[in-house]
Amino acid sequence: MKATNDDGLFYALLWSTAGLLVGGATIALIDGYRWNGLLGPWLFSDETSNFATLLGYVLVAASGLFAYQRWGHDRRIKRIELLMERLGSFNETPGARNAVMMLYNHDRMIPLWDQDEPPEKRYVRVTWAEVEFALIPHPIYPDRFDPKLSAIRDCFEDYLSRMGQIWIYLELGVITSEDARKILAPWLRRFGLVEQRSKVVRNLRLYIRWRKLEPVERLFATYDVDLTDTAIADWQALDVEVNGEKTTDAYAELRILRPA
């Protein structure tokens, strides 16, 4: 059974309440016996009563500490479960899984089409040249009404959506910065270092900026990877590659303020 924050809160309240009841009952019992003189003046003298009161408080504190430790333990388990879920999430949906395969392989068969299709129709050959072309932002090359290119873009939309979810978890404190680093480890170097950037990665970075996927940008910025550092120059270079000249306003299309 998976631990949840609600479980931890329940146990904390349970043990704290139990500690209060036991501690309060101990104090009340000692004071009651002493008041009625049922067991003699020595056993329930003022000193003994003070000791009983202290014992009650110790029981309350001990139960509260135990409850807090149990709650913290449940939170750690929940965080580990969530981390493992996020680590595996890139393989859970066809879109994200396909995007990862396309980023890692220059040329391979990818299951782009519906699972109901027979394998010979479902799997198609995808090259980096096609991925690079599919990720060109629409303003630079709008006339791409091709089912295969659309399917490739849909895969990356799913992949980037999952990246954005990691940022939300990180911002809410559900996972730690170190947890997120483990998830992003394969991508930080590939997306960050200029010498590691293929044209596929360049176009993907531009696609992220053009789509204004700020959670993804903020996620990478947490680890000093600026996805926008060369955006203007990359956009202009890609525009010239595709159209032979600059046909768009990179500052406007990338939603970056024109420098003074």
Q: Quote the tokens at residue 153.
A: 């873009």
Segment 232-258 mean pLDDT:
88
Segment 25-45 mean pLDDT:
51
Could you read off the pLDDT of 167-190 as tens digits, one per residue? 988 888 877 888 788 878 878 877
Segment 242-251 mean pLDDT:
91
Radius of gyration, alpha carbons of the chain: 30
Q: How confident is the model at residue 41 (pLDDT cuts 50, 70, 90)?
A: very low
CA 218/CA 122 separation, integer angstroms = 35
Task: For residue 81, give the 3-state DSSP assignment.
Answer: helix
Q: Quote the tokens at residue 214.
A: 């700020």
The structure's pTM equals 0.67
The residue extents of the domains of the chain are 5-89, 94-253
